[in-house]
């Protein structure tokens, strides 16, 4: 099993098979628009622009599970990301990322890369690095800034 076995709805409501990203390095991030970590969108977009032509895809999954920090509609989220941070990487529809209704992708990610003390995602902007074969390589805490992940990205992109 790999991340390629899952699909999700894009922020525009279209079904998207993650197998469409076979051969790419993925950074999957749960996001929110009203979080102290929201400015990470800018750094994520910078990574995307720098490494997209080398095979990096950043996939944003908004979630409203942490203190109601993503209350808007998918359209409002899309507008916010584009207007405030110039986000051009793929964004997906708002999903649950923890608990009994967690999206199956996030159930899989947290099984493959459990966090510190528990598998459950504890806050917005948790990041998962996936290699070109769909294997989960690492999980990064929300406090890990996107730039701190860059050496790992460079390494995986060379493979």
Query: How does pLDDT run across 22-45, given as a tens digit for each residue?
Result: 999 999 999 999 998 899 999 999
**Structural element, H or E, at residue 15:** strand 15-17
In the chain, domain spans: 3-10+22-158
CATH number listed for the domain at residues 3-10+22-158: 3.40.30.10
d(CA 126, CA 73): 21
Residue 21 DSSP class: G
Catalytic residue among 35, 43, 46, 137: 35
pLDDT of residue 117: 61
Query: How does pLDDT run across 92-138, given as a tens digit for each residue?
Result: 999 999 999 999 999 999 999 876 666 778 889 999 999 999 999 99
Question: What is the reported pTM?
Answer: 0.94
pLDDT of residue 140: 95
Contacting residues for 77 by C-beta, under 8 A, at least 6 apart: 11, 33, 62, 70, 91, 94
| 35 in active site | yes
């Amino acid at each position: 099993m790999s991340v390629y076995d899952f699909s999700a709805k894009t922020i525009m409501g279209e079904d998207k098979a993650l197998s469409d990203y076979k051969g790419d390095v993925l950074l999957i991030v749960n996001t929110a628009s009203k979080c102290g970590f929201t400015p990470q969108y800018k750094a994520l977009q910078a990574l995307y622009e720098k490494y997209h032509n080398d095979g990096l895809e950043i996939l944003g999954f908004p979630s409203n599970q942490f203190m109601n920090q993503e209350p808007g509609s998918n359209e409002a989220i899309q507008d916010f990301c584009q207007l405030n941070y110039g986000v051009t990487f793929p964004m997906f529809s708002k999903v649950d990322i923890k608990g009994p209704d967690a999206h199956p992708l996030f159930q899989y990610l947290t099984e493959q890369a459990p966090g510190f003390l528990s598998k459950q995602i504890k806050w917005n902007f948790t990041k998962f690095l996936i290699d070109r074969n769909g294997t989960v390589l690492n999980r990064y805490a929300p406090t890990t800034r996107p730039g701190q992940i860059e050496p790992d990205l460079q390494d995986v992109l060379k493979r």
